[in-house]
Amino acid sequence: RVLTAREIRKTFIDFFTVNHDHKFVRSSPVVPFCDPTVAFVNAGMNQFKSVFLGTAVPPYKRVVNSQKCVRVGGKHNDLSVVGEDGYHHTFFEMLGNWSFGDYFKREACEMALELLRGPYNIDPARLYVTYFAGDNLLGIPADMECFEIWRSLGFPAERILPFGCKDNFWEMGPTGPCGPCTEIHIDHRPQLGNVNERAKLVNAGRADLTELWNLVFIQYNRNADGGITQLPSKHVDTGMGFERLAALLQNKSSNYDTDIFTPLFDGIQSFSKAPAYAGSYPDATNNALLDTSYRILADHARMVTACLADGMLPDQNQKLRRVLRKALNISEHVFVHENLLSQLVPIVVETLGEAYPEMSAKQQAVIELIAHEQEVYKNLRESSSKAFAEVLTEFPNLDDIDLMECPGFVPAYREFQVQRSKFPNNTIPGEFLYKLTDTYGLTEQSFLKLAELENMNCDLERYRAEVSLAKLKAKDPQRTGGSGINNEAHRVLQKRIVEAQAHLTGQLAATDNS
Ligand code: ATP
Ligand code: MG
Ligand code: MG
Ligand code: MG
């Protein structure tokens, strides 16, 4: 019998609480109260960060949870691929178990394998595992202990693959707790043979191999001088993608074909009367545009509901606002049904409310917040389309700019008209491009379009230098009103700002000479 998503989640929690003495800890809100360095909670470990840093006492020695995660922006920005593949979402649930100074590598691997083979009944022949290959520069040895553990648990050596720092070494930041990890990957098409032979077959949407579970072994500390020392007490931090697990257990090659998403697709279809979801991806030969819109809208409806229910506001979080507006655009323009996004909220709550009761409690508030944002967005578009109509009579060649996507375009274009006679060599200078971004919110794509319309070039190199300088300055604690402690990080930053400024001045001089 195929397990439902609910049963899959419950099985995970029960396995660790009932069979292995873990305590269940609720998901934290997606608002990062526990970690101001990220825009959203993006992993189960966020709420335990201070335990790893040694500044908080662990709630229990063994913990299990399912965490609401959002990956939009920052180190984990999965937004750009959402809808294009079948296994990255902006909002997803991460199932995790933790050992705070209790069990370590062997038990962690044993338990993971026991759960996958036993209660989840997965054939281990469909699994690949990875281990840390070591890094000479950092002076960290390969994690052969991990390799040996997987060997002793019955994995053939050719399915235990070494990877470097990027995939298999986890660090919290430039200093602090860190360690090697081991990842469990699933083979969706084991009949295709060895992983190395068919790496090329892996494509978006229908990846044959996907990462399922990441087990991190926090055993080192990286010191301020860059050196690595052993931690006195070692921890385990794991995270498994719930939707990916559901796809595996329900014999689907895409997360979107599980009972987590199909009720949302049914809702979209019955509210909008659009043709039914057919499951095609951008790499398919047939037209996948509608199906991609189905996926993006369903994904974004979950993200928006989770964030709003946790008290995040579109006014205060531009990333949330962008995702929300994208969902409104798809509702209106692809499914031609203005209120589709709000109508999906009860379905999201139906699938997630049991695990996260705060979503059920806030359902009405979420619907009202979406209605409000819809109104704000509509007014904005009306006023900018009025302005745009005027601009069009003045400048008919702007006809094919999608102004709705970029309300700042009109004022930006007016300013461009005022300044253009000063631009040398038929090139829009980098400083001006930066102003278009900073003041009018133009993306690189929109100002390139502008330049194309006007048959001009863009000084992109200078523009990018301006952007990095602005980013550096924004990090400077003295500018942002912080305490301005003159620590090493601050000195490095200052130095980089000076360098970036010198680089810009150098470029200016070069331009002047030419
Ligand atoms: P990937 O390489 O597939 O992007 P990751 O290495 O970034 O995944 P981790 O940070 O290790 O992911 O997170 C632990 C687990 O969470 C992953 O093994 C995966 O199953 C799941 N996961 C990560 N990102 C997403 C996402 N955007 N949507 C759904 N599940 C995800
Ligand atoms: Mg990732
Ligand atoms: Mg990965
Ligand atoms: Mg990973």
**Whether residue 430 has pLDDT greater than 60:** yes
- pLDDT, position 475: 67
Which percentage of the chain shows pLDDT scores above 90?
Answer: 59
Among the ranges given (119-123, 401-405, 478-482), the one the predictor scored with the smallest mean pLDDT: 478-482
Measured from the Cα of 90, ligand 1's closest atom is 27
C-alpha dihedral sign at 185, 191, 194, 200: negative
**Whether residue 225 has pLDDT greater than 70:** yes
Banded model confidence at residue 483, pLDDT cuts 50, 70, 90:
very low
Ligand in nearest proximity to the CA of 79: 1
Distance 348 CA to ligand 2 centre (A): 24
**Whether residue 512 has pLDDT greater than 60:** no
Q: Which of 94, 183, 240 to mutate to test the pocket of ligand 1 (most atoms within 8 A of CB)?
A: 94
Which residues have CB under 8 Å from 246's CB, separation 6+? 5, 8, 252, 255, 258, 259, 260
Banded model confidence at residue 306, pLDDT cuts 50, 70, 90:
very high
- As a whole number, mean pLDDT of residues 253-259 equals 94
Banded model confidence at residue 472, pLDDT cuts 50, 70, 90:
confident
Q: What is the pTM of this model?
A: 0.80
**Whether residue 62 has pLDDT greater than 50:** yes
ipTM of predicted assembly, 2 dp: 0.99
pLDDT in tens, 238-251: 999 999 999 999 99
- Indicate the residue type of 199: A
Ligand in nearest proximity to the CA of 238: 1
- Indicate the residue type of 99: S
Question: 71 in ligand 1 pocket by Cβ < 6 Å?
Answer: yes
Measured from the Cα of 212, ligand 1's closest atom is 20
Mean pLDDT, the chain, whole residue set? 87
- pLDDT, position 342: 97
- pLDDT, position 281: 85
Task: Assess contact for 283 and 297: CB atoms under 8 A.
Answer: no
Highest mean predicted confidence (pLDDT) among 135-139, 214-218, 389-393:
214-218
Task: Assess contact for 82 and 295: CB atoms under 8 A.
Answer: yes
- pLDDT, position 286: 60
Question: 169 in ligand 1 pocket by Cβ < 6 Å?
Answer: no
- As a whole number, mean pLDDT of residues 247-268 equals 96
Q: Which of 8, 75, 92 to mutate to test the pocket of ligand 1 (most atoms within 8 A of CB)?
A: 92
Ligand in nearest proximity to the CA of 241: 1
Question: 212 in ligand 1 pocket by Cβ < 6 Å?
Answer: yes
Distance 342 CA to ligand 2 centre (A): 29
Distance 163 CA to ligand 4 centre (A): 11
Task: Assess contact for 401 and 409: CB atoms under 8 A.
Answer: yes
Integer-rounded Cα Rg, in Å, for the chain is: 25
Q: What is the rounded CA–CA span in Å between residue 313 and residue 362?
A: 13
Banded model confidence at residue 204, pLDDT cuts 50, 70, 90:
very low
Banded model confidence at residue 203, pLDDT cuts 50, 70, 90:
very low
Nearest CA to ligand 1 atom 9: 214
Ligand in nearest proximity to the CA of 237: 1
Among the ranges given (137-146, 394-403, 484-493), the one the predictor scored with the smallest mean pLDDT: 484-493
Among the ranges given (45-49, 383-387, 489-493), the one the predictor scored with the smallest mean pLDDT: 489-493
Question: 214 in ligand 1 pocket by Cβ < 6 Å?
Answer: yes
- As a whole number, mean pLDDT of residues 10-31 equals 97
Question: 62 in ligand 1 pocket by Cβ < 6 Å?
Answer: no
The alpha carbon torsion through 302, 307, 308, 309 (nearest 10 deg) reads 80
**Whether residue 260 has pLDDT greater than 60:** yes
CATH fold of 5-249 reads BirA Bifunctional Protein; domain 2 (3.30.930)
- As a whole number, mean pLDDT of residues 386-401 equals 71
Hey, how many other C-beta atoms are within 10 angstroms of the C-beta on 393? Answer: 7
Residue, of 208 and 427, whose pLDDT is higher: 427
- As a whole number, mean pLDDT of residues 360-377 equals 96
Question: 352 in ligand 1 pocket by Cβ < 6 Å?
Answer: no
Three-state SS at 167: helix
- As a whole number, mean pLDDT of residues 387-408 equals 69
**Whether residue 134 has pLDDT greater than 90:** yes
Task: Assess contact for 67 and 28: CB atoms under 8 A.
Answer: yes
**Whether residue 22 has pLDDT greater than 60:** yes
Query: Which of 180, 61, 91, 79 has its CA nearest to residue 130?
Result: 180
Alpha helices in 188-317 (DSSP H): 242-249, 262-272, 289-309
Banded model confidence at residue 478, pLDDT cuts 50, 70, 90:
low
Residue, of 189 and 4, whose pLDDT is higher: 4
Distance 167 CA to ligand 1 centre (A): 11
**Whether residue 54 has pLDDT greater than 60:** yes
